[in-house]
Every structure is written in C-alpha cells, then in structure tokens.
Structure 1
Amino acid sequence: MNIKSLLLGSAAALAAVSGAQAADAIVAAEPEPMEYVRVCDAFGAGFFYIPGSETCLKIGGYVRFQVDVNRGNLATNGRTSDWDAFTRGQLDIDARSDSELGTLRGFIGLRGDADSNASRGVSIDQAFIELGGLKVGFFYNWWDDGLSGETDNLANGTTRFNAIRYTYTAGAFYAGLAVDELEGASFSTNTLSPVEPNNNVGIEGIIGGAFGPAKIAVLGGYDTDQENGAVRGIMTADLGPGTFGLAAIWASGQNAYYDQSEWTVAAEYAVKVTDRFKVTPGFQYFWNIDQDVSGDFAGDRDGWKAGLTFDYQLATNLSTKLAVNYNDTEGTSESWDGFIRLQRSF
C-alpha cells in the first residue's frame, strides 16, 4: 500500500465518522410563543385577562390584626378577660366578562379568623353570581351599609343571607328588591322572652340616589316569620372640611333586620384632617329598647352612645384604626369599649 492509498483511506474513514456524528446531533426545539398576562381595564383597576379566555380576574383582600377592649359579653363569647386579640385574613376573587345579557360576574370571598390556637378556621364570607342587575347567592344585604365611623349601630348582627335581588340603576338613581332566606338570623338582646327561631323569608326594598353633594337612601325590610319589619333612611353630604352623615330607623317589633329599639337616630361628621388622617365623632340615641313576650316594644327605657374613630394611612395599602365608644343604657349600666386595628390591604 503506497502513501497515496493510505491518505485516501483515512479521509474516507473520517468522512464516515463525521457523518455519523452529525446524524446523532441534538437539535434544540423552537421555543413556544409566550402569552403574557394582559391588563383588563373594562371593569376597573386590578383586573387582568385569564390566559386563553376573555374573562377578567381580580384578586384582592387584606390581613388584619385587631385588639378589642370590652367588646361583647364575657359570659357568652368564651373570653376570660376584658380584652381580646384576633387576626383575620380575607381573600377575594372577582371574575367578570361581557355576555349577551350584560356583565357576568362571579365572586368568592374567603375569610379566616384566628382568635386563638384552638379557635381558628376559614369560611365563605361571600359567594354570588351577578348578571346585569340580578344577584343570587350568599352576600351582604343593604342593611350592612352604615355610616363610615365605628359608633353607629344600624343593623342586627346578621347581615349576610342566601338571597335573590335585583337592582335597577339609571344614572345617579337606583331602586332594588330582594328576597332573603332568614335562616340563622340574629335578633336584639333586649327582648324579654326567648326569640322564636326564624326559618322563613324576608323582603327588602331600597330606593336611593345622588343629588349634588348629597346621597340619600331609604331602605325597608319585612320579616315574614316574625311579622314585623323596619324602615331606615341614610343621608350623607359633603359639608365644609368633612362629610356629614345622618341615619334614622323605625322598627315595628322583633325582626331579623333591625329591632334594637323602636326608634333610633345616629349622626357623625368625618373630618379629613390631612390626606392620611381622618377623625370621625359619632352619636346615636335609642328610644324604647325593650320588647314584651310578643316581640312588641314595651316600656320606656332609652339608651345612647357616643364615640370617636381615628383612621390613619401609614403607607400605601397599610392603615390603622382606633375606635373608642361610651355606652349608656337607662337603668342598666354605663360602659366603655373600643378597638385598635392594623390592616394591610392588597
């Protein structure tokens, strides 16, 4: 074998090896196109499109730490001292989209309270479906809307029910009607007889609107089981350096919406001292707070309360609140109560 033959053979062998290695080489796949989250501004700030759909989603909530002082009854709430600290976590999931029938909304609110290691858990705060003006599910009713301070008491303890309601809106005017399942409703503690369990339905109606700097709403609720109801009016108006609020309620007797007194009037004036600091003094008077064995108001005992609420914005999405109230019930007792709160919202 001469030199020329040897060189030609070596070149052929190298070509064959190179071809085999080229056939075995790994070729990287083209990256899949990435779909970035798109902002949805059709329903307000904070919404984004769920990837691959036309549904807009918003996730929010808060974490709250609060210390209550002299709030509630020591004999019934399980506490052994006149103060109590608790922590709350709230998670709200709001999904909305356009449909042939109007805006379609689904809302879930999850709330967890931790009062102690032995007393903590998560429950549904609200869960409802909304289509246009129609709303069905478990949610807060109109009686939950009060004045802005922490002195007034304008509803019974239970303001969430499984309900069906419809609200008509035309500009600054609105009117609505609701049917509530009143199972588990709470009543006033001022009754002189045991409260009959409520397993029936309630009817609510509201009418309201904005008139220049003032907002007015008139609300009524009728408890078909107790055959009693209540009517409430609320007015707020920008006045000087703050906002003035006034509310009045009349109740016919024991019912699920309001029965803490036959008549009550509450007033407050929320003053925005700075962009971060607000002070709200408030006052409420109760006429005829007792009920007889039939659930009708009887006797002539009255009561009143006055207090101050301080709100301060420590930073963006971080706020603190301090409330102090004095309570005077005729022929019974005088007491102080309040709370201090730190809350981080998102």
Structure 2
Amino acid sequence: MNIKSLLLGSAAALAVVSGAQAADAIVAAEPEPVEYVRVCDAYGTGYFYIPGTETCLKIEGYIRFQVDVGPDQVNKGASGNQGGTSDWDAFTRGQVQFTAKSDTEYGPLTGVIVLQANADNASDQSTILDSAYLDIAGFRAGLFYSWWDDGLSGETDDIGSPVTLHNSIRYQYESGDFYAGISVDELEDSPYYGDEVPNNEGVAIGIGGKAGAFSYQVTAGYDFDNEAAAVRAMGTVAIGPGTLGLAAVYASDPGAYYNAAEWAIAAEYAIQATDKLKITPGAQWYGNYGLNAANNVDVTGFGNDDAWKVGLTVDYQITDNFYAKATVNYLDGDNIDDVTTGYFRLQRAF
C-alpha cells in the first residue's frame, strides 16, 4: 500500500466516524429565562419588586438585648408578668417588618405586617403580631399604634396611653409638613373602671407638623365607656447643641388615653454631644398623681397628691445600624415610696 492509498483510507474512516458522532450528538436544552430581583426606588431605599409583579416590598427589623433594673422586676420582660424579688431582668427581642407598596389610581396602596418575638428566658417566650394594617389615600385600617404612642425622645417622660396598640380605622390628611387626622379605636385591652367591661371604644384626633426648627403635635382622645377625655400638646425646637422638648397633658378622669395623673408637664434637652453620642436629661411633674379607689376595686378618680420624676438617657451609635442605650429615672412624690428604674439596651437594626 502506498502513501496515497493510506491517506485516502484514513480520511474515509474519519468521515464515517464524524458522521456517526454528528448523528448521535446531544443538543442541550435552552435554559429557562430567569427574572432577577429589581430594585424599586419609587418609595425610598430598601424596596425591591416582588418577581412577576409591580408590587414593591421592603424587609427590615431589629434584634434587641435589654437588661431592665427596678424593684421586684418593675420593668417587665417577655411575658409582661411582674413578680419575684430580683431587681434586674434580661430579655431578648427579634422584630421583622414587611412593607408592601404598589401604585393605584387612588395613590400608593400600602400593607404592613410587623412580627415580634420576645424571650425572657428559655421557657418564657411570646410571639405577637405587633402591627398589621392597610393604608390608601389617607385611610388606614387594622392593628396599629395610635398618636398617643408618641412622646419625647428621652425615656423620662410619661405622657402616653397605658395601651397604644389598637384595632382602629383612621383618616389622616397630609400636606407638606402638616398633618391632621381622626381615628376610631377599639380599646379592648385598655384600662376600664367601675362597672365597665373590656369592650371599650374611643375617638382620637391628631394634629402636627414642622415649621423650620420647630415641630409640634396636639393629640386628644375621648374614652366613651369611662367617659374620660384627655388632651396632650408637645413641641420641640433646636437650640444650641441640642433639641429642647416640652409637653403637657390633661385628663378629665382616668381613662384609656391617659391615666397616670390629672395633669402633667414634661421637659427634656437632647444634647448631640458628638456625631454618635446623644445625652438627654429630662424631668416631669404630675398633678393629682395616681388613682383613688373604693375598697381597692373601683377607681373613683385621680389621687390628690403630686409627684415628680427626673432622669437621664444616653444613646451611643457604636457603628452603622448598631447602637447602645442606657437610662435611669427617679420617681418621688407625696405619700408614695420613691423608686429608681432604668435599663441598658443593645440593638442591631437591618
């Protein structure tokens, strides 16, 4: 066999083999199209589009570790129960908030769910629905905190409702730096007195806004079952290295919106010492502090004694999304034992 014959034979063999491989080749399937998560910047930072929809979702929350200090566990842990003789108690909290927004012909449609889990120890734990509501065109319905949950920035003032989370229907008008609204609240978990039962209702109004360095808020509420009205005014203004805050509250009778005293005045000065450190001294005066009771059962009205409180709160930003807070408060008054309470907190937000 000469060289030419050998080359022709080899070429023919390769052609046969190549043809067989071409006939038996495996064709890879086309990959399924993947829809990547898209950033939604229409409602601020942190939102993304839920794949396949035009709804924007934001997930945020925090992890908190706190040690409360006070006589016989005055500050309550996860269960909310007060007891024992220990003067301190530690607890941990985890909270997650889901906020969904989408555009409609009536404006943004908002839905919020807040889940909170608290652990006072391995066996004393609780998981609650902290908020769940829908909001559109100024109307809000669901479980959410009232205007009476607001307060000054420190931890000394006592000018809010004993219970501020209600099933409510609310309308709030907003224009620039001004808002005004009205809500109808089911006060089922709030204090009730005399022959009333825990199926209470109330109406609250809120007005507030900003004017330059000054901010203000006026809140009022009427508790129908307890026939008690309360009104509160707050204001803050930037002065020097900090912000001065003043508040006053009046209640006609003990009720769901305010029951600490017939009237009270609170003040604080939040000093921004550095970019990371804020120091807030505060004080409050109570007129007709506490409650009068007949046979220790039925409340007949506010007490006849006065009381006062002073305190200090320190906030420190350790790093981004991680801060520490410590507070101590001293309460004294006529015909009551003085008491010192406080807490230390570490919190990581995300």
> Is the shorter-chain TM-score for this pair beyond 0.5, marking a shared fold?
yes
1:253-286 per-position Cα deviation (integer Å, ceiling 9, x unaligned): 1211101100000000000000000000000111
Task: Name the stretch that deviates more: 193-202 or 48-57.
Answer: 193-202
RMSD of the TM alignment (CA)? Answer: 2.5
Question: Offset of 1:161 from its aligned partner?
Answer: 0.4
Amino acid at match of 2:272: K
User: What does residue 340 of structure 2 align with?
Assistant: 336
Q: Does the residue aligned with 2:42 lie in a helix, a strand or coil?
A: coil
User: Structure 1: any 5+ residue segments left out of the alignment?
Assistant: 188-192
User: What does residue 131 of structure 1 align with?
Assistant: 136
Amino acid at match of 1:210: K
Q: Does the residue aligned with 2:308 lie in a helix, a strand or coil?
A: strand
Q: Does the residue aligned with 2:22 lie in a helix, a strand or coil?
A: helix
Q: Does the residue aligned with 1:237 lie in a helix, a strand or coil?
A: strand
> Residues 156 and 186 of structure 1 are in contact (CA less than 8 Å); yes or no, is this contact kept in structure 2?
no
> Structure 2 residue aligned with 1:72, among 65, 71, 74?
74
> Residues 133 and 167 of structure 1 are in contact (CA less than 8 Å); yes or no, is this contact kept in structure 2?
yes
User: What does residue 310 of structure 2 align with?
Assistant: 306
Write the distance in 2 (CA, Å) between the matches of 1:195 and 1:242.
Answer: 47
1:14-65 per-position Cα deviation (integer Å, ceiling 9, x unaligned): 7555444333322223334433322211111111111221111111000000
> Structure 2 residue aligned with 1:159, among 164, 169, 172?
164
Write the distance in 1 (CA, Å) between the matches of 2:7 and 2:36.
Answer: 58
Write the distance in 2 (CA, Å) between the matches of 1:79 and 1:42.
Answer: 51
User: What does residue 97 of structure 2 align with?
Assistant: 92
User: What does residue 113 of structure 1 align with?
Assistant: 118
Whether 1:244 aligns to 2:244 is: yes
Task: Name the stretch that deviates more: 201-210 or 316-325.
Answer: 201-210
Amino acid at match of 2:253: G
Question: Offset of 1:209 from its aligned partner?
Answer: 2.0
Write the distance in 1 (CA, Å) between the matches of 2:302 and 2:38.
Answer: 61
User: What does residue 327 of structure 1 align with?
Assistant: 331
User: What does residue 174 of structure 1 align with?
Assistant: 179
Whether 1:291 aligns to 2:292 is: yes
TM-score w.r.t. length of structure 1? 0.90
User: What does residue 269 of structure 2 align with?
Assistant: 269
Task: Name the stretch that deviates more: 308-317 or 208-217.
Answer: 208-217
Amino acid at match of 1:333: D
Amino acid at match of 2:210: A
Task: Name the stretch that deviates more: 261-270 or 24-33.
Answer: 24-33
Q: Does the residue aligned with 1:258 lie in a helix, a strand or coil?
A: coil
Write the distance in 1 (CA, Å) between the matches of 2:303 and 2:157.
Answer: 23
Amino acid at match of 1:153: D
User: What does residue 190 of structure 1 align with?
Assistant: none
Amino acid at match of 1:133: G
1:73-101 per-position Cα deviation (integer Å, ceiling 9, x unaligned): 79951344110000000101011111011
> Residues 168 and 176 of structure 1 are in contact (CA less than 8 Å); yes or no, is this contact kept in structure 2?
yes
User: What does residue 210 of structure 1 align with?
Assistant: 210
Q: Does the residue aligned with 1:174 lie in a helix, a strand or coil?
A: strand
> Residues 198 and 226 of structure 1 are in contact (CA less than 8 Å); yes or no, is this contact kept in structure 2?
no
Write the distance in 1 (CA, Å) between the matches of 2:173 and 2:266.
Answer: 28
Q: Does the residue aligned with 1:22 lie in a helix, a strand or coil?
A: helix
Amino acid at match of 2:345: R
Question: Offset of 1:72 from its aligned partner?
Answer: 1.8
Amino acid at match of 1:181: E
TM-score w.r.t. length of structure 2? 0.90
User: What does residue 60 of structure 1 align with?
Assistant: 60
Question: Offset of 1:211 from its aligned partner?
Answer: 1.9
CA distance 1:128–1:73, change in 2 (3 Å): closer
Task: Name the stretch that deviates more: 310-319 or 324-333.
Answer: 324-333
Write the distance in 1 (CA, Å) between the matches of 2:226 and 2:284.
Answer: 26
1:273-310 per-position Cα deviation (integer Å, ceiling 9, x unaligned): 00000000000111102335574535521111100000
Aligned residues: 339
> Residues 55 and 101 of structure 2 are in contact (CA less than 8 Å); yes or no, is this contact kept in structure 1?
yes
> Residues 198 and 225 of structure 1 are in contact (CA less than 8 Å); yes or no, is this contact kept in structure 2?
no
What percentage of aligned pairs have identical amino acids? 54
Q: Does the residue aligned with 1:297 lie in a helix, a strand or coil?
A: strand
Write the distance in 2 (CA, Å) between the matches of 1:19 and 1:185.
Answer: 85
Write the distance in 2 (CA, Å) between the matches of 1:38 and 1:206.
Answer: 37
Amino acid at match of 1:302: D
Question: Offset of 1:166 from its aligned partner?
Answer: 0.4
Q: Does the residue aligned with 1:116 lie in a helix, a strand or coil?
A: coil
CA distance 1:298–1:133, change in 2 (3 Å): closer
